[in-house]
């Protein structure tokens, strides 16, 4: 798969503070890549270096296999941290200005405004917009030049639940167009909901990176409720079973790798049992995130 972004040893020090510590990372075409980390872990700083506004202390990166230039940035749509626009200009004029900078066709403006549902407010001054509208205009501006890569930094920060849902819907829609998206967020469930891959930053250090699907893999657990006398025994005998545990009235079956709930369901059905409840317990990203952070914390403690 084509590499969109490749980072080698990227480092940024602010005086004594090491905000980003020798990060290595690859993002491939078509990935929705989540950068996850608590506040202050260096996400925005990393993106700032990738977009040429923060000068790296050390390390390098390449976009599309080429060393970064301002010309390449025109094909990347990025909003870092907060939407930034000229407050005294209307949404439309702001986008016109941006189109000039990005050398994007002006005819794209109505399209992107439509996409984020701002067309009817486009002639109002930016400073009169609500926070949600500002965030949506930012996404519109990032999409202006039909970017190959979209970079969003905490795109739902400060929004109400409805605004959050709207923005996520927009991101999913863009992702389904096959665009590569890099999404920085401190919200786990945001990354889990929209990302295909993710990396975890902690105090400027990359502590994990991999596909989101991995998280559910390995030991899948399936909850089963079925009214049959020998149910416990039957579950034990299933080929994919590692162990069975009884919790209240339900059984939790720990599955071997490669076995899924539908296999168990089929097995039970063949035995003439119809389960009244059959549910895969996904190991949540949150659990794994906390585990990884705890591991990193532990490793850091040992090192010092």
Ligand X SMILES: Nc1ncnc2c1ncn2[C@@H]1O[C@H](COP(=O)(O)OP(=O)(O)O)[C@@H](O)[C@H]1O
Task: Determine if 96 is a binding residue for another protein (CB under 8 A).
Answer: yes
Size of the site for another protein (CB under 8 A): 29
**Minimum distance from residue 183 beta carbon to Mg ion (Å):** 12
156 binds Mg ion (CB under 5 A): no
Q: The sheet that has 241-247: what strands, in order across it?
A: 241-247, 250-255, 221-225, 277-281
- What tokens were used for 220? 């899948």
Contact with Mg ion (CB under 5 A) among 31, 44, 90, 185: 44
Nearer to another protein, 147 or 240 (CB): 147
Interface with another protein includes 105 (CB under 8 A)?
no
216 secondary structure, DSSP code: G
146 binds another protein (CB under 8 A): no
Helix, strand, coil tally for the chain in percent (to 5): 35, 30, 35
Using the minimum distance from each CB to another protein, give the nearer residue, 148 or 226: 148
Contact yes or no for 235/228 (Cβ under 8 A) = no
Burial class of residue 74, CB neighbours in 10 A (0-12, 13-18, 19+): middle
Residue of 79, 74, 68, 78 whose CA lies nearest to 5 = 68
Pick what 42 binds: another protein, Mg ion, ligand X, none; C-beta below 5 to 8 Å, kind-dependent: ligand X
Q: Answer yes or no: are the C-beta atoms of 8 and 61 closer than 8 Å.
A: yes
Q: Per CB under 8 A, which region of 85-93, 155-163, 262-270, 287-295 contacts another protein?
A: 85-93
Residue 152: CB minimum distance to Mg ion, A: 11
Q: Which does 37 bind (CB under 5 to 8 A by kind): ligand X, another protein, Mg ion, none?
A: ligand X
The answer to whether the beta carbons of residues 124 and 87 sit under 8 Å apart is no
- List interacting residues with ligand X (CB under 6 A): 14, 17, 19, 37, 39-45
């Amino acid at each position: 798969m084509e590499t969109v972004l490749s980072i080698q040893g990227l480092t940024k020090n602010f005086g004594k503070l090491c905000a980003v510590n020798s990060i290595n990372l690859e993002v491939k075409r078509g990935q929705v890549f989540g950068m996850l980390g608590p506040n202050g872990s260096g996400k925005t700083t990393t993106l700032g270096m990738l977009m040429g506004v923060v000068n790296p202390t050390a390390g390098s990166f390449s976009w599309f296999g080429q060393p970064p230039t301002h010309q390449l940035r025109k094909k990347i749509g990025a909003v870092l941290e907060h939407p930034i626009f000229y407050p005294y200009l209307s949404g439309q004029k702001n986008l016109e200005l941006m189109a000039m900078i990005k050398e994007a066709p002006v005819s794209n403006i109505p399209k992107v405004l439509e996409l984020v549902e701002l067309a009817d407010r486009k002639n109002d001054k930016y400073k009169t917009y609500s926070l949600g509208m500002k965030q949506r205009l930012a996404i519109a501006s990032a999409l202006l030049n039909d970017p190959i890569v979209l970079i969003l930094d905490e795109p739902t920060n400060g929004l109400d639940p409805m605004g959050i849902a709207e923005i996520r819907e927009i991101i999913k829609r863009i992702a389904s167009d096959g665009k590569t998206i890099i999404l920085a967020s401190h919200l786990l469930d945001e990354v889990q909901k929209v990302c295909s891959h993710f990396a975890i930053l902690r105090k400027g250090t990359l502590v994990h990176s991999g596909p989101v699907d991995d998280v559910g893999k390995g030991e899948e657990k399936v909850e089963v409720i079925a009214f049959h006398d020998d149910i416990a025994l039957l579950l034990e005998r299933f080929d994919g079973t590692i162990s069975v545990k009884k919790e209240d009235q339900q059984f939790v079956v720990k599955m071997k790798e490669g076995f899924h709930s539908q296999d168990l369901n089929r097995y039970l059905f063949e035995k003439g049992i119809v389960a009244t409840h059959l549910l895969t317990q996904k190991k949540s990203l949150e659990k794994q995130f906390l585990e990884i952070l705890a591991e990193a914390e532990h490793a850091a403690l040992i090192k010092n």
